[in-house]
Amino acid sequence: MANPAESHDEVEIVACTNGPLLVRGEIDLRSADGEPIEQTRKTVALCRCGVSAIKPFCDGTHKLVNFTT
Amino acid sequence: MNPTESSPAQTTSPSVAHTSPTLCENWHDEEIEARGPISGLLLDAFRSQATPHTIVGLAAEVTAAVESGRDFVRDDDVQLALYLLYGLYYGGVVDSGDLWEWHVDTISARLELECAFEAQLRRLVSVPELPNATAEDVAQALFALTAPDPNAGPSLSRHVAKSLTHEQAIEFMVQRSIYTLKEADPHSWAIPRLTGRAKAALVEIQADEYGGGRRDRMHSELFARSMRGLGLDSRYGTYVNFVPAVTLASFNMISMFGMNRRLRGAIAGHLAAFEMTSSVPNGLYARGFRRLGFNEKVTEYFDEHVKADAVHEQIAARDLAGGLAESQPALLSEIFFGASACLLVDDWVGQHMLESWTSHNSSLRKPFPFAAVRASQAGLANRAAPATSANTGA
């Protein structure tokens, strides 16, 4: 895992049923062209249904499209 | 009202943005108006300079209200009384209540009113069929309970997105301010009442609500900035007199769930349902406020909640509610009572606004000084950008 040197904790990812990937711990999140993506909270939810308007983060819209895992 | 404050608040028009403090620490200087005998006796007592004493007539008025069988949810006097009594523990409502916080009369009144309020809620809230007491089953049952209903009638959030007017936007913020300027506080009472996985989950959510250690990121501060962006006064309690009983009832219910250890299942379920019905509506609120021309300063609160509550709902469902159910299966029905109560009462609040507006009425209980607030907002805009001859005359 690409992990910043200052990270102290292991990263935990919960694959939420019918929902996002819940990521706890410090991760190095970057766009396709390598730019860092700002994270304003310690735990983030990453979209995996594909319909979020704020990708890579989850905005809850998986519930509107009946996304199932 | 607060004698310890030396702010220049007294010179400020009551409902217009208070420009000097940048953060919402100062107390309001509005005189809270009694709405009946119980709230009247409490306000008189809290404002008197005498040391706490027996409040003559309070117990009789409380008993009379309870025995009347009135609809407590929409009873102005009862809901304001509960709001004042809980306010002793939060602060920021009536400033002179310190010595009343643990007085036997205020506690007795609160217990009796709470008991009747809770009994009414339990009569009206229908609890769904309970799942197995495993975290995953509880989470899935909560997501099913809170799922958006495609066949539902008009919703407040869709109205906000499509049709909200500027005056309704002001009312919306005034209604929300009762809870949101204290956002997260009523659920935080539950932290020491939980253990293990559920406690860690609640702290994880609440830490984020409180900005993760950054004061300017506290959600209550984001909301205060949004209020000021509309020209509203963001000091807590400024608009209490305008807010109907059902809005106070929504806040009082969370305070009741949070402050009573025996209701710890209900507070966990409430927060789960609250978070699970937040991301999508907040996206619609943001859209509505942008449609009205408000900038990021106003919409940041809503945008932040789209992202934050998509995280919180997962933690609240699995780790808070699910974790609590696994460790204490006997609380399962209470978790679903709290979740169902959240949905029902918040729907009453939303429908009250929606029905008022669709019939071209105000959702507030007395005429609101919209013109002064809008003038204040125009003043803010003028200060943000150097004034021109085109906008100074507003």
pLDDT in tens, B225-264: 999 999 999 999 999 999 999 999 999 999 999 999 999 9
In whole angstroms, give the CA distance from residue B177 to residue B239. 8
Which region among B122-126, B175-179, B296-300, B380-384 has the lowest average model confidence (pLDDT)?
B380-384
Q: Is A69 on the interface with B (CB under 8 A)?
A: no
pLDDT computed for residue B302 by the predictor:
98
CA distance B331 to chain A (A): 23
CB contact at 8 A, B27 and B235: yes
In whole angstroms, give the CA distance from residue B221 to residue B206. 14
One-letter amino acid of B221 = E
Q: For residue B315, what is the nearest residue in chain A, using CA coordinates?
A: A22
Position B5 confidence tier, pLDDT thresholds 50, 70, 90: very low
Interface test with A, best of B221, B222, B279, B319 (most A CBs within 10 A): B279
**Contact flag A64-B148 (C-beta cutoff 8 Å):** yes
Q: Domains of chain A: which residue ranges?
A: 8-69
Of A20, A40, A59, the CB nearest to B314: A20
CA distance B76 to chain A (A): 36
**Contact flag A54-B307 (C-beta cutoff 8 Å):** yes
CA distance B208 to chain A (A): 7
Phi-psi region of A30 (alpha: psi -120 to 50; beta: other; left: phi over 0): beta
**Contact flag B208-A41 (C-beta cutoff 8 Å):** yes
Please, what is the Cα angle at B334 between B329 and B339, to 5 degrees? 120
Comparison of pLDDT for B145 and B391, the residue scoring more: B145
Position B94 confidence tier, pLDDT thresholds 50, 70, 90: confident
Q: Is pLDDT at B325 greater than 60 in this prediction?
A: yes
Q: Is pLDDT at B179 greater than 50 in this prediction?
A: yes
pLDDT computed for residue A8 by the predictor:
55
One-letter amino acid of B246 = V
In whole angstroms, give the CA distance from residue B263 to residue B275. 19
Task: Please provide the size of chain B in residues.
Answer: 394
Please, what is the Cα angle at B87 between B85 and B90, to 5 degrees? 135
CA dist B172 → A60, B102, B377 (Å) = 23, 34, 16
pLDDT more than 70, % of chain A: 87
pLDDT computed for residue B1 by the predictor:
38
* DSSP per-residue codes, B226-283: HHHHTT---SBTTTGGGS-HHHHHHHHHHHHHHH-GGGHHHHHHHHHHHHHTTHHHHH
pLDDT computed for residue A2 by the predictor:
44
- What's the fold here for domain A8-69? Ribosomal Protein L9; domain 1 (3.40.5)
ipTM of the complex: 0.88
Identify whether B148 is preceded by a cis peptide bond (ω within 30 of 0): no
What CATH architecture is B135-381?
A: Up-down Bundle (1.20)
Of B143, B212, B280, the CB nearest to A41: B212
**Contact flag A41-B204 (C-beta cutoff 8 Å):** no
Task: Please provide the size of chain A in residues.
Answer: 69
CA distance A18 to chain B (A): 9
Which region among B1-15, B190-204, B265-279, B301-315 has the lowest average model confidence (pLDDT)?
B1-15
pLDDT in tens, A4-63: 444 456 899 999 999 999 999 989 999 999 999 999 899 999 999 999 999 999 999 999
pLDDT computed for residue B388 by the predictor:
42
What is the three-class DSSP state of B140?
helix
pLDDT computed for residue B28 by the predictor:
73
Q: Give the B-side interface with A, CB within 8 Å.
A: 136, 139-140, 143, 147-148, 204, 207-208, 212, 217, 278-280, 283, 306-311, 313-315, 318
Number of A–B residue contacts, CB under 8 Å: 68
What is the widest separation between alpha-carbon atoms in chain B?
68
One-letter amino acid of B151 = N
**Contact flag B148-A61 (C-beta cutoff 8 Å):** no
Q: Which residues contact B158 (CB under 8 A, 6 or more apart)?
A: B284
Of A41, A53, A64, the CB nearest to B311: A41
> Of the candidates A48, A52, A24, A1, which has an alpha carbon nearest to the alpha carbon of residue B307?
A52
pLDDT more than 70, % of chain B: 90
Q: Is pLDDT at B154 greater than 60 in this prediction?
A: yes
> Of the candidates A43, A19, A68, which has an alpha carbon nearest to the alpha carbon of residue B204?
A43
> Of the candidates B273, B268, B238, B240, which has an alpha carbon nearest to the alpha carbon of residue B347?
B273
Q: Is pLDDT at B204 greater than 70 in this prediction?
A: yes
Region(s) of chain B under CATH 1.20.910.10: 135-381
pLDDT computed for residue B26 by the predictor:
60
pLDDT in tens, B32-75: 999 999 999 999 999 887 888 899 999 999 999 999 999 999 99
The dihedrals phi and psi of A34, each to the nearest 5 degrees, come to 90, 0
pLDDT computed for residue B148 by the predictor:
83
CB contact at 8 A, B197 and B223: no
| Gap between the terminal Cα atoms of chain A | 24
Calculate mean pLDDT across residues B211-216.
Answer: 94
Calculate mean pLDDT across residues B111-125.
Answer: 98
